[in-house]
Chains A and B, each alone.
Chain A
Amino acid sequence: MADVFPPDTVRCDACPVLCYIKRGHAGACDRYANVEGQLVRVDPHILLDRAKSQGTPLVPFLEREGDWDGKIMKGQETFVTAIGAGTTYPDYKPAPFIVSSEVEGVDMVTVVTEGIFSYCGVKLKIDTDRHLGPERNLVRAQGEPVGHVTTAEYGSQMLSLGGVHHLTGGSKSEGRVTCETLLDLCNGKEVELTIDEGASVRVAAGKPPVVNGQREERMRVGCGSATIGMFAKQWFGKVDDVVVVDDHITGVLSEHQAGKLLGVRETGIAIQGRRSTPGRYFQVAEPGTGWGGTNISNPLTILKPFKTKFAWPHLRLLMVSTTGEQFAYYELNEELRPIEKELPDALKESVGRIRENCEPALTTVLFMGGAGGSLRAGVTENPVKLTDSVKRKLTRVTCGGAPAYIWPGGGITFMVDVTRMPENAFGYVPTPALVAPIEFTLKKNDYAVLGGHVDYVRPLGDVLKEKERQRQLVSHAQNPWPLKPHAGSGES
């Protein structure tokens, strides 16, 4: 019976039905198909259960200067990143590498290209309570404006660097320095930045920031008021009053709700600044790089004289910052003036506890760029379809194998954490613009549907043969495996 079938008919032996499947068709189950004479599994259900892949190698192309992190290893699963792949920009022709690979029976295609991004920049999140500079002020590198201060977030200051106006809209040297700064930050190198009317910082992705020569160790545990709430019980009985100095909200134990609930006695303490609610004060000092993000180095400057009606000699007072990094202990003398004394052992623990509860302060660098029409044309003859496919999550976007967050709305504007990419993944062109790897991974069928350059698809095996141009890396352990086929809607 089999003899009458065309030569490219395959007999599926995955189940006892033993279907004969013609080329281009699926068996009775719709789970196995004959793709170019090969029996291929196209089963979305099973793939949902696929184990998380870790420790799998990445294969970037073309060695660059600098050391690659991670040991070289060979594995079964290989994903070709765009690092060093080159680009065809601005020509309207297929991307340099369009690689097909079979992942658990699903034919996947990865379009690998290096994008040239003149619309790009980095978002810096600097974990610090220190005041880095007024919002909207310029951030400079080597004296050139490369960005600006944006919002303060919880325990962090955000900077926005780069963007097309600094890269190509200013002077030549502004563009060159901006490009250099972005490149260094994206490649994990340390960069020195100064903020107009503000601090000077040294920052590198994934490392603690250095503010005015001082290395930040910890993020604050909470605002001053929150810190009072968290530690009131541990202080109660061991000290008569506590002031947690914070540029945002300074907290006072004896006036704070948490102290009232415990029955802490009124102490007659008086704080500079604007009272918000009982025990919570705004603007006790100017922002700065001193205690709790204020400009003070001597905490007594925020205290007014104690009220004689309530205060008493030998009253015990702890002053501490929101990170526990600064602290001082005082007792009132007969004239009700605070005299600094050594911190009693009973209080050392609570100060240590504040410090322990503060997370390590880091600098985070997110690269943000937009894939333009030309780049998209390297992927498909119909660029808007790529956008659509990305938005519908049929196409996965990665940068050097790292997952990218795609902004909703028009275009393909994405952000990626550079620490999840291999080191030195970025390059530049003198335009000036940054060169970043970008990979689009999708099912082969979907690729054909969106007008992909299917004639340029090469099997992974062929690409891997060009050994002299490759370097194998271990995938970042936290990254999802980029080739993992998309979970189908699957259920009947």
Chain B
Amino acid sequence: MREPALIRMLPDGRRLHLHDGPIDLIIGADGAPQAVSVAYEAAARRFVSVLDELSGELPLLRSQARKNSLRPSGAVAQRMFAAIEPHCEDCFITPMAAVAGSVAEEILDSMTAATTLERAYVNNGGDIALHLANGQFYKIGMVERPDRPSLFGSLEISAAGPVRGIATSGWRGRSFSLGIADAVTVLADCASAADAAATVIANAVNLPDHPGVTRIPAREISPDSDLGDLPVTRGVEPLSDSEIVEALDSGARAARILRAQELIHSSALCLQSHIRVVSPLPANASIEFSQRSLLHA
């Protein structure tokens, strides 16, 4: 039975929680109280039809994308396609790789179109779309492993910079990954682009044919996965330092290519407590790391 979308304020009374099927958004906005409530209402109005729109063209969105692929018609679906299109000649990717970031972005746009806000975020399970008026900033904490939520570093996103989207991907997350990264966090112009790029980089953090990595065809776990029979990572045994470096090298290469193509701004790659940063600035200038992580780095 189709359950209706959930629209509610979180118990703190400040943040909006929107939930429908697999979509779960936490939304925060700052500005005049009136503006915030207008923004939340706009978000809720836009949200209620998003899942139905996406579901209507799900088979297409789950198919491998190519330059000449049929374009989807929904607004969110078009964001998804636009985000993955730059990658589709180089690797297997489907529009679903950018679904979370695209939904976040769509909802954020509905809010900023409805009113003027100082700043706002739409967090879709770690894929975050940001709005920053002049002079505003957000401080973002990063976790290495979602199942062990301790911050390994923090970063500041300010209105002066170009970053408006953050996404994280890894095999421990909710979506499947072809790679072995615990988490790859990407900063990009927008959330959909960050989402697609995080997927691509996390897939590239890899040690093909390594016996310590358990891989299972996606379809065996989730019969209708867009990854079909591709082997997705289900377990990674402790790796040697040189193996970790090799896997991170591979991921960092992919990240540098995406940066050269101006698809992303920065990226942090985590694998078994080792962290690699691909960034336009010296690593410690834009991203602060806690002491513990530095010891492993």
- CB-contacts of B1-29 with A (<8 A): 1-3, 6, 8, 10-11, 17, 19-22, 24, 26
- A5 to B2 CA separation, bound complex (whole angstroms): 23
A18 to B58, CA, bound (A): 10
Query: Are B21 and A14 neighbours in the complex by a CB distance under 8 Å?
Result: yes
- CB-contact partner of A9 in B19, B21, B55, B223, under 8 A: B223
- Asked if B221 contacts A16 (CB within 8 A), the reply is no
- CB neighbours (8 Å) of B1 from chain A are 13-14
Closest Cβ of chain A: how far from B88's Cβ, in Å? Answer: 22
**Does A20 contact B21, Cβ atoms closer than 8 Å?**
no
| Contact-size category for A | 20 to 34
A435-492 residues with Cβ-Cβ distance < 8 A to B are: 491-492
**In the complex, are the beta carbons of A13 and B2 less than 8 A apart?**
yes
Q: Does B123 contact A (CB under 8 A)?
A: yes
Hey, what's the 0/1 contact readout for B40-72 against A, CB within 8 Å counting as 1? 000000000001100110100000000000000
Q: How many residues of B contact A (CB 8 A)?
A: 29
Evaluate whether A492 and B22 lie within 8 angstroms (CB atoms) in the complex, with A14-B1, A17-B55, A25-B222 already known. Answer: no
Which of A5, A16, A48 is in CB contact (< 8 Å) with B21?
A: A16
Q: Does A55 contact B (CB under 8 A)?
A: no
Q: Does A45 contact B (CB under 8 A)?
A: yes
Of residues 1 to 41 in A, which have CB atoms within 8 Å of B's CB atoms?
5, 9, 13-22, 25, 27-31
Please measure, in the bound complex, the distance between the C-alpha atom of A5 and the C-alpha atom of B174, giving whole angstroms.
Answer: 22
The smallest C-beta distance from B121 to any residue of chain A, in angstroms, reads 12
B123 / chain A contacts, CB cutoff of 8 Å: 492
Chain A's nearest CB lies how many Å from the CB of B6?
Answer: 7
Question: Chain A contacts of B17 at CB under 8 A?
Answer: 45, 491
List the B side residues contacting A491 at CB < 8 Å. Answer: 10, 17, 26
Q: Any chain A CB within 8 A of the CB of B126? A: yes
Q: Which residue of A lies closest to B58 (CB)?
A: A17
Residues in A with CB closer than 8 Å to B89 are none
Is A429 engaged at the interface, CB distance under 8 Å to the other chain?
Answer: no
Cβ of B224 within 8 Å of any chain A Cβ, yes or no, is yes
Q: Does residue A46 face the partner (Cβ distance < 8 Å to B)?
A: yes
Taking a contact as CB atoms under 8 Å apart, the answer to whether A15 and B222 are in contact is no
CB proximity of B48 to chain A, nearest CB, Å: 12
- Quick check: is B125 within 8 A (CB to CB) of the other chain? yes
- Decide yes or no: A19 and B52 within 8 Å by CB, A491-B10, A492-B123 being known contacts: no
> Does the CB pair A15–B21 fall under 8 Å?
yes
Contact B2 A20 (CB under 8 A): no
Contact A16 B224 (CB under 8 A): no
Give CA–CA (A48, B17) in the complex, Å.
13
Least Cβ–Cβ distance between A95 and chain B, in angstroms: 31
Cβ of A45: which chain B residues have Cβ within 8 Å of it?
A: 6, 17, 19, 24
Write the A395-426 contact mask toward B (1 if CB under 8 angstroms, else 0). 00000000000000000000000000000000
Q: Which A residue's beta carbon lies closest to that of B55?
A: A16
How far is the CB of B14 from the nearest CB of chain A, in Å?
Answer: 13
Q: Collect the chain B residues with CB atoms within 8 Å of residue A25's CB.
A: 221-222
CB within 8 Å for A22 and B221 given contacts A14-B1, A16-B2: yes
Measured CA separation A21–B8 after assembly (Å): 28
Query: In the complex, A22 Cα to B51 Cα: how many Å?
Result: 22
Which residues from A are CB-within-8-Å of B3? 14-15
Q: Given that A25-B222, A28-B222, A492-B126 are known contacts, is A15 also in contact with B22, CB under 8 Å in the complex?
A: yes
A412 to B63, CA, bound (A): 54
Closest to B221 in A: A25
Considering only CB atoms, which chain B residue lies closest to A9 in the complex? Answer: B223
A-B contact pairs, 7 of them (CB 8 A): A16-B56, A17-B21, A18-B55, A22-B222, A28-B21, A491-B26, A492-B24
| Across the A-B interface, the 5 shortest Cβ-Cβ residue pairs | A15-B21, A16-B55, A29-B22, A20-B223, A28-B22
List residues of B whose CB falls within 8 A of some A CB: 1-3, 6, 8, 10-11, 17, 19-22, 24, 26, 51-52, 55-56, 58, 123-126, 174, 220-224
